[in-house]
């Protein structure tokens, strides 16, 4: 009852059902929507075409297919995305990068479809010329495509992907997850084969990894150090590139200021760099690396202590 004594009319059950149906968002009608003639939600038919959710702002998100629970699921196929790559500065490039990243994380079939459709070339273009947010999405797509696939890793090298990845402006890597993904991608490639490791070194990848080894993110740091070790183990030329780009001074700083785990990783890489190389051994001494190595050998964890002792 209202304060003036009048009463509010109560809707009938039938009227309540109609109001609830009208209030339900599109694609999520309640069973009462049958009264208004709304279509039943339909499930996606089985097949190789991948269905991924897209943001409402995506230029590709206006073609929707209902999922089994009735919510709209915008769809895109790899061939449609990669055929006629968008201009990197165009608004739709952000949508393409987002969808490729989603598809690459969706299934093995969708990853294969991206590669068959020329998606690697599209991603190289987006890395080279895209806006920072586009490049971040492209890095995510590359990581998902390369992880666990030696074929895709080799194809990425062949497509010029290492040069594009190493050449990213640092402003495009401001997000922590982007930097850690770059370190992990380069780590995959340095371990994949001698050829891909050499390509990383020739593209200037050791300098990028040394910078990532000093990153504030521990994940990026550890993956960068492991990638540098794989690079140094590849060949004498790759080892020389790590030293030339400042690897020894970087590692000594980590020994002086890092936590136990990072100091252990740094000592392991130093062990690789100084093994059988008197010049690199002298460089460690000149950089002041002996004292932190002695401290780590004496007081570090068993693994860290063992690695430090191997350098000494």
Looking at per-residue pLDDT, the higher value among 145 and 14 belongs to: 145
What is the average pLDDT across 77-84?
A: 50
* 95 pLDDT higher than 60: yes
Q: Is the pTM of this model over 0.75?
A: no
**pLDDT band per the 50, 70, 90 thresholds, residue 94:** low
* 19 pLDDT higher than 90: no
At 244-300, the pLDDT tens digits run 999 999 999 999 998 999 999 999 999 999 999 999 999 999 999 999 999 999 999
Looking at per-residue pLDDT, the higher value among 226 and 57 belongs to: 226
Looking at per-residue pLDDT, the higher value among 36 and 24 belongs to: 24
pLDDT over 90, % of the chain: 50
Looking at per-residue pLDDT, the higher value among 190 and 99 belongs to: 190
What is the average pLDDT across 40-61?
A: 35
How far apart, in whole angstroms, are the C-alpha atoms of residue 263 and residue 268? Answer: 9
pLDDT at res. 55: 36
């Amino acid at each position: 009852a209202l304060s003036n004594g009048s009463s509010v009319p109560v809707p009938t059950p039938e009227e309540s059902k109609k109001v609830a149906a009208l209030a339900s968002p599109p694609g999520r009608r309640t069973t009462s929507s049958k009264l208004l003639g709304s279509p039943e939600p339909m499930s996606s038919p089985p097949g190789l075409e991948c269905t991924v959710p897209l943001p409402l702002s995506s230029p590709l998100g206006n073609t929707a297919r209902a999922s089994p629970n009735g919510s709209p699921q915008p769809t895109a196929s790899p061939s449609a995305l990669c055929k006629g790559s968008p201009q990197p500065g165009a608004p739709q490039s952000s949508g393409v990068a987002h969808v490729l990243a989603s598809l690459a994380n969706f299934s093995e079939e969708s990853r294969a479809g991206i590669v068959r459709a020329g998606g690697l070339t599209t991603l190289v273009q987006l890395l080279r010329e895209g806006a920072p947010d586009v490049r971040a999405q492209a890095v995510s797509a590359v990581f998902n495509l390369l992880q666990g696939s030696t074929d895709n890793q080799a194809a990425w090298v062949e497509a010029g992907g290492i040069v594009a990845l190493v050449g990213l402006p640092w402003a495009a890597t401001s997000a922590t997850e982007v930097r850690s993904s770059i370190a992990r991608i380069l780590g995959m490639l340095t371990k994949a084969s001698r050829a891909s490791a050499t390509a990383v070194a020739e593209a200037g990848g050791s300098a990028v990894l040394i910078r990532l080894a000093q990153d504030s993110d521990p994940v990026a740091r550890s993956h960068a150090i492991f990638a540098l070790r794989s690079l140094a183990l590849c060949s004498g030329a790759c080892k020389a590139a790590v030293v030339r780009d400042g690897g020894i001074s970087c590692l000594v700083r980590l020994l002086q200021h890092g936590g136990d785990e990072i100091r252990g990783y740094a000592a392991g890489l130093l062990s690789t760099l100084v093994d059988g190389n008197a010049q690199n051994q002298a460089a460690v001494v000149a950089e002041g690396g002996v004292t932190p190595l002695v401290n780590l050998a004496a007081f570090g964890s068993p693994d860290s202590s063992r690695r430090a002792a191997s350098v000494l």
